[in-house]
Amino acid sequence: MNDNYFKFTPSVVLLPFFAVLFLWIVFWVEVRFNFNFGQYGVYPRSFEGLRGIIFSPFIHGGIEHLFNNSIPMLVLLSALRFFYRELTWKVLGYGIFFSGLITWIIGRESHHIGASGLIYVLVSFIFFKGIMTKYYRLVALSLAVIMVYGGMVWYVFPDVGEGISWEGHLGGLITGVALAVFYKTPEYKKEIRYDWEHPDYDATTDKFMQRFDENGNFVNPPPPEPAEEIQSTIYIYNYIPKSVTEVDENRDESSRP
């Protein structure tokens, strides 16, 4: 699979845009009609709390909470869709389910809400999958992600702050790593543009390389092959003027009265 595998499509922009827009619509509905969606979050080890596995990523406790999750969601979903478009829906679907399930198992007895668990899924998946492919573009993406969001790793440990669901973050991190290991990607390779990039390239048959010796010094090019003899036909046009006498006689006749 060469570089042509990465193609920009409208979904690279539309998917993250509508995903974040939906989060804001849910929050607006909650505030506008005075609903309490927090009760639909993940409540660990209770049958009723299982519904939060599906609903919790779309529920936020406040405008700051929602804003802090919106920007990473836009960036990471765009990267996921562009570089891993065939795995996009699998990563999102299984990421939401398993990160929520882990939170349900290990979480404190409280309602866990927010899209941060899914964000940790995306960060860990993009980082570890890029490193495992060893493909230069995906490795660069991994390094960019860890430079921007590397500080998030401290929020997977207990007691990082009041009201922060470190269990959801840890569940997302574990799920992202597992998905990166489980799902295989195509064998990426750089697009071949020149003859010398082919695996079976033979420098001895290259006219340009023949101008260098084994030490890399420039030498005279090999003598050119004899050109085929070019036959040409030469046409000779002879102009035979009139004799001087005839010209003079005509001149004399024309001068008579």
Longest dimension (CA), the chain: 139
CA 227 to each of CA 34, 136, 211, 223, 230: distance values in angstroms, whole numbers, following the listed order: 91, 48, 21, 12, 8
Within 10 A of 12 (CB to CB), how many other CB atoms are there?
Answer: 19
Could you report the per-residue pLDDT of 42-93, keeping only the tens digit for each?
A: 999 999 999 999 999 999 999 999 999 999 999 999 999 999 999 999 999 9
Q: Helices 88-106 and 63-83, interaxial angle, to 10°? A: 140
The whole model's pTM is what? 0.74
Distance of CA 89 to the CA centre of its chain: 16
Name the DSSP class of 194: S
Within 10 A of 39 (CB to CB), how many other CB atoms are there?
Answer: 15
Question: What pLDDT sits at residue 97?
Answer: 97
Question: What pLDDT sits at residue 240?
Answer: 53
* Residues lower than pLDDT 50 in the chain: 1-2, 229-230, 254-255, 257
Question: What pLDDT sits at residue 70?
Answer: 96
Question: What pLDDT sits at residue 1?
Answer: 45
If you write DSSP's letter for every residue of 133-163 in order, what string do you get? Answer: HT-HHHHHHHHHHHHHHGGGGGGGSTTSSTT
Locate tokens 């509905």: which residue?
29
